[in-house]
Amino acid sequence: MSTTLTLIQGDITEQTVDAVVNAANSSLLGGGGVDGAIHRRGGPDILDACRALRAGHYGRGLPTGQAVATTAGRLPARWVIHTVGPVHSSTEDRSALLASCYTESLRAAAQLGARTVAFPAISTGVYRWPLADAARTAVATVRAALATTPDAFDEIRFVVFDDRARTAYEAALAED
């Protein structure tokens, strides 16, 4: 069975999916944007799980481009997959790190057995990545990952907040 790519304009914390990806920061201890919304709506169990990660394997935090899963607490999902996007730089190409957020999140999701995964537009908020480029990277990277794991997922859902992001993703999805 092939995987459906979908685009939704809305709030990522309201998605009924197996796994919700969080645009986290490396501290794993919460922040603004998607991260703040996930912890607010998901409740304290997510933060407890993140603190446990910091006390264990991720003592120095989660490196940029990597992904790790926790409970989803009270969100209508089974897991939150935390990934740390790169801050955009005009002097250094960090796009491999942005792509890595998508591949590593999908790898974590597949390991858990998640069949539906919702992604926010990683790095396009506080981390200032230009939307059109971020959308192209997101879509192309997910497509490439799915080509190597055609049976792992039923749906990958891109969830964007505003009209500008929706337009950018529509354009990226229309490219082959």
- In terms of residues, how long is the chain? 176
Backbone phi, then psi, for 72, in 5-degree steps? -100, 10
Q: Which of 93, 98, 87 is nearest to 65 (CA)?
A: 98
* Torsion of the alpha carbons at 51, 56, 60 and 61, rounded to the nearest 10: -50
User: Residues 98-137: x/- map of binding to ligand ADP (CB under 6 A)?
Assistant: ----------------------xxxxxxxx----------
Q: Nearest approach, Cβ of 150 to ligand ADP (angstroms)? A: 27
Q: Nearest approach, Cβ of 60 to ligand ADP (angstroms)? A: 19
Is 20 a binding residue for ligand ADP by CB under 6 A? The answer is no
- Let me know the angle formed at the C-alpha of 174 by 169 and 176, rounded to the nearest 5 degrees: 120
Select the residue interacting with ligand ADP from 17, 19, 20, 23 (CB under 6 A).
Answer: 23
Active-site residue flag, 176: no
Q: Which of 46, 45, 51, 24 is nearest to 35 (CA)?
A: 24
Q: Nearest approach, Cβ of 97 to ligand ADP (angstroms)? A: 11
Residues 69-98 that bind ligand ADP (CB under 6 A): 85
- Contacts with ligand ADP by CB under 6 A lie at 11-13, 23, 32-35, 37, 85, 120-127, 159, 161, 165
Q: Which residues are catalytic?
A: 35
